[in-house]
A and B are shown apart, each in its own frame.
Chain A
Amino acid sequence: MTTIQTGRHIPDRLTSPFSRALKSWEALLLIVAVAIFVLNSLASPYFLDPWNLSDATFNFTEKAMIAFAMAILIIAGDIDLSVGAIIALASTMMGVAMTLGAPTPVLVLLGLGTGLACGAFNGLLVARLGLPAIVVTIGTMSLFRGISYIVLGDGAFTGYPASFAWFGQGYVFWVITVEMVIFALAALGFGILLHRTNFGRMAYAIGNNATAARFSGIRVGRVRFILFLLTGLMSGVAAICLTSRLGSTRPSIAFGFELEVVTIVVLGGVAILGGSGSITGVVLAALVMGLVTFGLGLLNVPGIVMSIVVGALLIAVIALPRLWAMLRRG
């Protein structure tokens, strides 16, 4: 008998406590978001300024773009830890092209292309060769960022063309940034993909039971490959936005992004072992994360302390429902 690649094992429980709590998860997130919003506006008089709020969205828009694709990838039972490294490589490629005098449209295409290529590479190794996603993407994380280091060493690319700055620094209308529009479009697009298409249903099916999905005629390998492609593509989009916003490329760009992206996804109520979750939850989680970091920033909390908060949030979000279920059971 040939063994079928089933991604990750699903525990022998009918429903996880987490999925039971999920019923009200989005509602809970919304309440938390509103509460943080109110608290912040009470804590600082500068919070409610539209321009400040607009600035604050940069905290999460780039990460959230990737989080949408990552959410569907995780729902299907895989994970991609190389997203930060893909940003670094895509940004480096754009930097190389920029020094050769490439115009903005070429830079954008190159950013997207690099993202797609990296996603395809991950997808090939995971979906086609059947290697475990965690180690593959730990390996490619090192490989992609390593290539950036080979190209850049301890240097940096600066001097992107003025028209390139539009993506990360431009405004579409009043305080609405270009990144916000991309964020909204991505949310809509991935929301439709996950909740309104066959493809989305396939992702859930694969995440719940890849073997059963295979027997019900889903081309499991192809769906997983496409999901890695999408995650790579969105990392490319994020690379364009981030590079454009910073106006420079260093090999350490977007270091640790994967942690925050995964945190947003998990905070959004997506089961880390796959099978359940929604894009609405991820959107709300991105808002909560953005508001928390913005609020802490207004209170002058240093970045590394914020990362403690992010790390603790990641564990607490998964631990608390399980702890709650455990206490109720006995």
Chain B
Amino acid sequence: MNLLKSREAILALAILGLLALIASRFPGFVAPANLAAVFTDSSPLILLALGQMAVILTKCIDLSVAANLALCGMVAALMNGAGIPLPLILIAVIALGAALGAFNGMLVWTLGIPSIVVTLGTMTIYRGVIFLLTGGAWINAHQMSPAFKAFPRTVIAGLPVMAWIAIAIIAAVALLMMRTPLGRAFYAVGGNPHAAVYTGISVGRTQFAAFVLAGALAGLTGYLWVARYAVAYVDIAGGFELDVVAACVIGGIAIAGGAGTVAGCVMGALFLGIIKNALPVVGISPFWQMAISGAAILIAIAFNAQSQRAPGRIILKRAEHRT
């Protein structure tokens, strides 16, 4: 418990230290308005990382989330072009994302194919489907309706809708993980699949549910992404799956499954978001970002491995705490 606690504490300290470092040179960066902008900018990463967290907790990995996002984003833009109202588009992209995730999940569940192979394959298939849908054409800002573009940017109580969606999803996923049988099943399946089977949890079905959750969140983010940047094409969010895995790993989600918290996951995403937003402010070329997130992944796994040497994993945190 101490280790789990300290991991999040260390990450929080690292984020504060990073902010202090930037603030010492550029005080404007830590102004509340700018921090809110950084949070909004990190929202897509947070949403995908929360879905990925569920998948990684169950000992799987989903490399197709960015392709899923791009496909759903393109479908949202196409539906908008066809004059379909926004609420319907939202429902459709979430359903489509969930279906794409379910396809991954079915292959993992029923055929027992390793998730890395499945999602490595579907990653290229989903991107290819965008090309088949559009013939490689772009959908640009002027082809999107004003309402479609405005929704994620609409400011309510000081924050844009995009940030509010991220906050709502963080709360919902935290509730799911801590307060529902499914959430606890994610941890149980990853912590010890054999024990999970004996307690009556279907490992495959739980993994399937994790893929559906990750897919649905990717679908929702697809719309938000396309609407916010007002452009849709085959390669949007290319390579974003690596950032998502990086956010989870930095956030202390154990890649072997069964350990990790929503708070850690969100902080992992924010850590990367702050670096991404700070680089241009500090005057470092954005081309550094890829190498920095790579290095951050490696440091984080090395660090996680150190703290996971403890025997056994904790599934019932509260029960553990009382003893």
* Interface residues of A, Cβ cutoff 8 Å to B: 11, 79, 125, 129-132, 134-136, 138-147, 149-150, 152-154, 251, 256, 259, 262-263, 266, 272-273, 302, 304-305, 307-308, 310-312, 314-315, 318-319, 322-323, 326
Contact = CB atoms under 8 A, between A and B. Distances in A.
A292 to B, nearest CB: 15
B107 interface: yes
B50 to A, nearest CB: 18
B121 A315 contact: yes
A312 B118 CA distance: 9
Of the four ranges (under 10, 10 to 19, 20 to 34, 35 or more), the interface on chain B belongs to 35 or more
A141 B111 contact: no
A319 B61 CA distance: 18
Interface stretch (B8-16, B88-96, B142-150, B292-300): B292-300
B128 A132 contact: no
A304 B128 contact: yes
A311 B302 contact: no
B118 A153 contact: no
A238 B251 CA distance: 35
Contacts of A319: 107, 111, 113
A302 B134 CA distance: 13
Contact of A134 (B107, B131, B255): B255
Contacts of B116: 79, 134, 272
14 contacts: A79-B116, A129-B302, A130-B305, A134-B255, A141-B294, A142-B297, A262-B120, A305-B131, A305-B132, A308-B128, A308-B129, A315-B118, A315-B122, A322-B112
Interface string B275-307: 000000000010111111111011001100100
Majority-rule SS of A interface residues: helix
A269 B251 CA distance: 36
A86 to B, nearest CB: 13
Contact of B117 (A153, A266, A310): A266
Q: Which of A139, A256, A308 has the most CB of B within 10 A?
A: A139
Contacts of B33: none
B249 interface: yes
B140 interface: no
B113 A142 contact: no
A273 B114 contact: yes
B163 interface: no
A4 to B, nearest CB: 13
Pairs A-B, 9 closest by C-beta atoms: A146-B291, A143-B294, A142-B294, A308-B128, A146-B290, A139-B297, A311-B124, A315-B121, A311-B121
A304 B127 contact: yes
Contacts of A272: 114, 116-117
A140 B121 CA distance: 21
Among B121, B285, B294: residue with most chain A CB under 10 A = B121
B125 interface: yes
Contacts of A326: 110-111
B76 interface: no
A88 B125 CA distance: 24
Nearest to B292: A146
B295 A143 contact: yes
B4 interface: no
B280 to A, nearest CB: 14
B124 A146 contact: no
B291 A142 contact: yes
Most chain A CB atoms below 10 A, which of B118, B125, B256: B125
B290 A145 contact: yes
B242 interface: yes
B123 interface: yes
Given A134-B116, A152-B287, A308-B128, 16 more contacts: A125-B298, A132-B301, A139-B294, A139-B295, A140-B294, A142-B246, A146-B289, A149-B288, A259-B124, A305-B131, A307-B124, A312-B125, A314-B120, A315-B107, A315-B117, A322-B111
Contacts of A308: 124-125, 128-129, 132
Contacts of A310: 124
Interface string B144-165: 0000000000000000000000
B298 A312 contact: no
B122 A311 contact: yes
Given A11-B112, A308-B124, A146 B129 contact: no
B131 A304 contact: yes
